[in-house]
Each structure stands twice: as C-alpha cells, then as structure tokens.
Structure 1
Amino acid sequence: MSILIKSATIIAPGNNSLHQKKRDILIQRGQIEKIASTIAPKGSEKIIERTNLHASIGWFDGGVAFGEPGFEERETIANGLDVAAKSGFTDVVLNANTNPTPDTSSDIVFLKDRARGKLTDLHPMGNLTLGGNGKGLAELYDMHNAGAVAFYDHKKSLSDANLLKIALLYAQNFNGLVCSFPQDASIAAYGNVHEGAVSTRLGLKGIPALAEELQLARDLFLLEYTGGKLHIPTISSARSVKLIAEAKKKGLDVTCSVAIHNLFFTDEELETFDTNFKTLPPLREKKDSQALIKGLKNGTIDYVTSDHTPIDIEEKRVEFDNANYGTIGLESTFGGLNSLVGTDMAVELLTKGRERFHISAPDLKEGVPANLTLFDPDETFVFSNGHIGSTSKNSIFLNRKIKGRVFGSIKNGKIELN
C-alpha cells in the first residue's frame, strides 16, 4: 500500500530539521520513502488530507487493560488494539489483570498470538507472583523468554517485603523489570477514595496518601539494598513525587508513571457520586495533581499512561462503595494531556517509556518503517459517548471539554483512521 500524507505539521521535539515544519510524507510498503515540502501524487496512493493535520512518531501507553481472557464482555484484545490505533497508540503494554492471569510462558504466547496482525503492537506483562496472590514468584524467566516485558501484580500491593527483595535480585539475571503497586493494603483497608475533607464530607471511606507513600518508601529501600530495576506504576501524591526524585538522585534504577486522570481531576469531582470517578489510586487533592504535573515537566515522572481499564456496566451502576475501580482512557488521553501541558510536551510524554520495557523506539526519517500518529492539537470539543470505541463506556472524561483530536495512526503497513 502507498500512502501520501499531505501538508502535515511535524511534531518532533529535539529534531530541529523537522519540528514544526509542514511536510508531505510518502509511505511505500510500510516504509517512509520520502519527506519533502511537496510530493506530487502519482495516482495510486491513498492520500490523507485533514484540516490542521499534525504528525509525530507513534505514541506509547505503558499500562492498559483489556479483559481477554476471562472478561471479554469488558474488552477483547482485538477491539482494544483497534481502539488504541485510532487513539494514536502504536505500542501498548498490557497489564496482567485477566482471568486467569498470565503466570506462565504459554499465557504470554496466547496474548501475543491474539494480537497478531494488528496495527498496534501489544507487549504483555506477566504476573510477579502466582495468581497475583503475593505468595510465590511466578515463572518470571520463562515468561521473559516468551516475550513478557515486565512483571506486575496489577493494582495489588505486595505485603511480603522479602518476596519483592527476591524478585529484584532474581530478575537481575536476565535484566528483567519488576513493578510494584504503591499501596499499603493495611493502611488503605476498605477505603474507596482519597482520605481528606471531601471524603469526610461525603461519608466515603478514605485511602490516605500515606498508604501510597509508605509502600513506596519501603520499595525504594529494598531497591537500594538489592539493586535491579523497579517501576512504580501510577503514583498519585505530591510526597510520592518527592520520594521518586530523591531515589533518582541516589542513582537508583527506578521509574514511575502517572495516570492521565490523576493529572486532570481531583477528589472534588466525587460530589456527584459518579462511579466513573472511582479509580485506583484514587483522585487526590489539587496540590497533588499540581505536584504530579510539575514532576512530569522536570522529568521525575517518566511517562503518562491512560490506565485504560474497561469495566462493564453492571459493576459501575451500583452504590459507590460497591462499584469496581477503573476508567477507560485511550480515546481521551491526548485531549486531556494536551489541554494541560500543550502539544509539544504532550507528544514528548506520549512517545516516552518504550525503552524502559526494551521496546524499540520509532524514528521519523526516510528509510525507516512508518510508525506515525496523526492528530489535530487545536480542536476543542466535549468528549461524549460518540467518541468511545471501547466496548465498555466507563469514561471519567465523559461530558468534559478537552483539546486535541486524534485522526489515527500508521504502523506495520496498516492504517487506522477515525
């Protein structure tokens, strides 16, 4: 297939020869053949022309959930990857929250097979412990050899410090990445939302920021003792940003991410008791979201994730205490992030993170495989159900004004456009 992208403003921070330049891009047989001010069509190309068209290298999401196997009613792998492609993400890391959870090499092979032939590449994580029960290590080395990019008991805190110590030591044998969810379960207890003035006023059980910070401090002490590579998914508090910054100054090999909704929203949204605002970690206070944005800008936080978590309607249309955690986010991540930090930084953040999972980063130049995201950074609109391609509709951004519309993406010789 030949594709000719016409008059696209290229967003490539750090590449002075292309950044903010308007160019035509010719793609032949999946490779970028030519980038020039003007390329005349020959008649056989699929021509892409959009108002205010912009292009960057393909975006990356380091933490999505779909559902298959076990929760296909929430989202299948096939549909989830189609949604990711149309949302601009050409690589996604899949969380281990299926049923059964991926504990073995054959589980990883199954997940990769289900994603075969799609535009967006899927990179599965395996469980850190068997069944995610926190009591014994899963088959880390075998899963690594099968293609697992990291090991994580999705949104489950590991209470056994010695088990995390062993995992960090063992994974060094094959340069494996260990992930640890930052929440002390004994402190969080039966909480549903951030513990503070809002939870007190609404009568909702709280999860104090201390639960996150205490677990994070413990994990960083363990990393300092063992060495190895540690990733902390979705931090949410100002103090956590400070702890990560201090650890990096010590030279510890630690990275972290933040979910887009913890940047965009605060616990003030809970006044409506809308269960789409029930997330884990919970939405916290304004000072926390401001510290998280500052941590992104100064490099303390390594990348942003959609934390895309489809939940079916039966688990959301219930009393707030009984609702399941999670919000979908692939379709709205760019618009939310672009609204907060501007286009250049949004694109820079959405293209970071691959290297942590040993995923090859794409390039935007002639002679390389086309791996591109197409978008309009300036269109402002109210996000609605009509913008959702996911099977589940539990979006925290519903009825929220955001800035930036994604047209689609190109990779693996395929194109997906909205």
Structure 2
Amino acid sequence: MNVIFKNATILDKESPFHKQKADVKVENGIIKNIGQNLSSKNGFEIVELENLHLSQGWFDSSVSFGEPGFEDRETIANGLNTAAKSGFTNVALQPNSFPVIDNQSQVSFVLNKAKGFATTLHPIGAFTKNSEGTDLAEMFDMKNAGAIAFGDYNKNLDNANLLKIGLQYVQDFDGLVIAYCQDKTVKGNGVVHEGLVSTRLGLKGIPALAEELEVARNLFLLEYTGGKLHIPTISSAKSVELIRAAKAKGLHVTCSVAVHNLVLTDDVLTGFDSRYKVTPPLRDENHRKALLEGVLDGTIDMITSDHNPIDIELKKMEFDNAKNGTIGLESAFGALQNVLSLEIIIEKLTHGKSVFGIEKPAIKEGNKACFTLFTTEGNWEFTKEHILSKSKNSAFLGLPMKGRAYGIYNNGQLILN
C-alpha cells in the first residue's frame, strides 16, 4: 500500500527528522521521501489525522493469544489485529498454549498462522518441555525455526542447575533465556500482595520476598555462567535494586515491567474484583514508585502489556479461585501517559526490539516503513466498547486515559483503529 502521512510529528531519536513535523511518503513498504508539502499522485492514500505522531513501531515483549488450544480466549488472527489497532507492529508470543510451544513444529505452526498480518509475531519457545521445569526443551531447533527467546510463561524454574545448564547451552547460538521469578514455597497460597490491604481484606498475601529471592538467585547464576538473561514483569523495589546492581557489574541482564504494575496498586482490590488478580500481584505505592524510578533511570529496559486473555468462566469467580491475568494491548499507551513522559514511553515501547534481536528501522528515507501512528491528546475513559480482544478481562476498565494509538504501518499494510 502506498501512503502519504501528512503533517506528522516524528518522534525517533535515530531519525534526522526527530521532533519535526513533516509529510512521510511510503511506496511499496519503503520510506521514499520525508519533507514538507509532499505532492500526491494516483495510487497513494492520504492519511491526515488530528495531532498525528509517528514513532518507530512499538514492540510488546509478552502477549498470550491462546491458539492453539485456547481459541475461546483469543485467536492469533484477532490477537494480531488487536495489537495493530493498539499501535504494536511487533509482539512476542508466549508459549502457554495447548500444546505448549516447546518444539520446532509448534514454532512453525504459530508463524504460519501469523503470515500476512501487519503486526509481526515473534514466538517465544518454552525453556523446558511442556513448561514443566524438568527437562530442557529443543531450544536450538526452535531458534532455527524462528523463536526469539526461551522461557516458561509465569513459571519459576525451581531447579537452579537446569537454569545454569540452559544459560550455558544457549550461548552456542546467542540465545536469550527468560526467567520468571517467584518462589512457590514463599508464595504459598497467596493471591495478592502481602501488606495492609491483604490484611484488611483477609486475603492471603504474596510477600515481595517471593520474587526477590529468585531474582537474586538467577542473577548469581548468570554471573557464574555468562550469557543473556531477561527477567520479565518485575514488581518489587528490591528487584529493581538487585538488577541495577547486576547491570553495574556488567552482567548481560534485562528486565521488563507490566503496565498495570506501573499504573495500579493493591488499593483497587477493595471490591474483590478478580480483574485485578494478576501475577506478579499489584503491589503498594512504594513498590510502584520504585518501578517508575527504575524505568526512568534505565534499570527497567522495556514496558509490556503482559496481555493475557482469560475466558469468563475462569475469571468471573471467587477471587481465590480466579485465574491470574489481564488483557492490556488496547489500554497500554493511554494508561502509560498518566504516569510517564511521552519520550520515556516511546523509548520503553521500542527498545525491547534491540534486546530480542528484532529489526528496528529508523524513520529515514530508504528504510522499511515500520511505525506506529498515535495522538498524545484527548482525555477519555476506558470502557468495554474499547476492548478489541475476544476476552474482556481488563484491569483498566473505568480508568482515565490520555491519548491513543491510531494504528500502524508495517509489512506494507496500513491498519487504523
């Protein structure tokens, strides 16, 4: 599709047009010209949107779609269309389907399902077979099939030696290991953050210590083995401190934080609404502030929606029994503008590509056109009408939003919300 984007503010530090307003002409998926008052010709679609901004395409390092096995929650097709309309040109798909993505054929299956969409899907292969934490999965074969990293979604690896061996093994092919951190024995039967709110509500708490013990252990293992480790969706102040210190030592560690842990606290649990049951749990204001500081000083490398659709039968039930997870693609940008500056948001929604080895073309003439269209203006409230996912388990319903994604241009396709 040939398009001219009119009067767009370009936000891309790698572009010579950073913070400038210009027209951007795209022909056959390539940026042909950037300048003022570019003339159109037959075959070009003109895109003029209020307060139009363009940045490098956003990347979400953690999404779950359900297919294969849980198509009632979300299909790959609808998930990718949701991602596109939410501003994401690239998403990393978690392996928590049925069967688990733990071999070459499963990686090939989801990649074939994702062909032809504007948003590019990047599979994460399971670190262990069936994500059971017992035997290493076929990581080298999955890497050759297109997997960009290896991890068992929201499952802590109890066997420290297995993580050690895995970190050593993947270095032969420059693999990236993802290690979710939450000690099951310390967590126990906890369902929310351990603190004043859990005590007041009578809900069993999960100490921040459950996360911090495993973060510390995994960083020690990384220091011993070398290699690359990514710690997803951290939630505690001490985790930020530990990772900050590890980076200062020169360890090759990166980490992410979920939008809901930056925006919400456990104060929202007062109504026992299971939409707010997530893992790691929503913590108190002190932890939230520490996470924001970690984002600002670069300790936290990227922000993820941790988009996890759950069918209503497993979500709308007693809090203790409800399944963890919230959808988040549709609300990510609007929610983040409540707590972070625009420049930081764009950086944290694009930097993850560098960590996961994904192409990151700048907005320059001659480069592939891969960018997100959005506006920074407009205050609104997130409601069910804004949900594009098949599942409706959003922790952001009723939350005030600022600005929104218009859509994306990627893989030669224009998708507008």
Amino-acid identity (%)? 54
Matched with 2:66 is 67
Give the equivalent residue in structure 1 for 2:275: 276
Residue 37 of structure 2 corresponds to residue 44 of structure 1: no
Query: How far does residue 80 in structure 1 lie from its aligned partner after superposition?
Result: 0.3
CA drift at 1:273: 1.0
Q: Secondary structure at the match of 2:344?
A: helix
Aligned counterparts, 1:110-189, within 5 A: 110-189=109-188
State the match for 1:356 in structure 2.
Answer: 355
Distance in 1 (CA, whole Å) between partners of 2:350 and 2:269 is 31
Tell me, yes or no, if structure 1 residue 195 matches structure 2 residue 179: no
Q: Confirm or deny: 8 A CA contact 1:13 1:348 kept in the other structure.
A: no
| 1:36 CA displacement | 0.5
Deviation string 1:348-405 (CA, Å, 9 cap, x unpaired) is 1111111211111121011111101111111110011111111101111111101111
Residue 10 (structure 2) aligns with: 10
Unpaired runs of 5+ residues, structure 1, are none
How many residues matched? Answer: 417
Secondary structure, counterpart of 1:70 in structure 2: coil
Give the structure-1-normalised TM-score.
Answer: 0.98
Deviation at 1:335, TM superposition (A): 0.8
The residue type paired with residue 2 of structure 2 is S
Query: 1:13: how far off?
Result: 3.4
Q: Distance between the aligned counterparts of 2:19 and 2:227, measured in 1?
A: 39
Structure 2 equivalent of residue 103 of structure 1: 102
Q: CA deviation at 1:160?
A: 0.6
Structure-2 separation of matches of 1:89 and 1:135: 34
- Which SS does the other structure have where 1:379 is aligned? strand
Deviation, structure 1 residue 20: 2.0
CA distance in 2, matches of 1:25, 1:14: 16
The structural deviation recorded for 1:19 is: 2.1
Residue identity opposite 2:9 in structure 1: T
SS at match of 1:348: helix
| Inter-partner Cα distance in structure 2 for 1:19 and 1:291 | 30
Q: Which amino acid aligns with 1:19?
A: H
- SS of the equivalent of 2:3 reads strand
Q: Structure 1, residues 268-324: CA drift from partner, whole Å, max 9, x if none?
A: 110011111100000001011111111011100000000000001111110001110
- Which residue of the partner structure matches residue 413 of structure 2? 414
The corresponding residue for 1:208 is 207
Alpha-carbon separation, structure 2, partners of 1:316 and 1:88: 26
* Matching residue of 1:289: 288
Q: Secondary structure at the match of 1:321?
A: coil
Q: What displacement does 1:14 show?
A: 5.5
Q: TM-score, normalised by structure 2?
A: 0.99
1:46-104 deviation digits (Å, cap 9, x = unpaired): 11111111111111111111000010000000110001111110011011110110111
Task: State the Cα RMSD in Å.
Answer: 0.9
CA contact (8 A) 2:314 2:322 kept: yes
Partner of 1:326, secondary structure, is: coil
Gaps of 5+ in 2: none
Q: Note if contact 1:234-1:258 (Cα within 8 Å) is conserved in structure 2.
A: yes
Contact preservation (8 Å) 1:27, 1:33: yes
Bigger CA drift: 272-281 or 34-43?
34-43
Q: Offset of 1:43 from its aligned partner?
A: 4.0
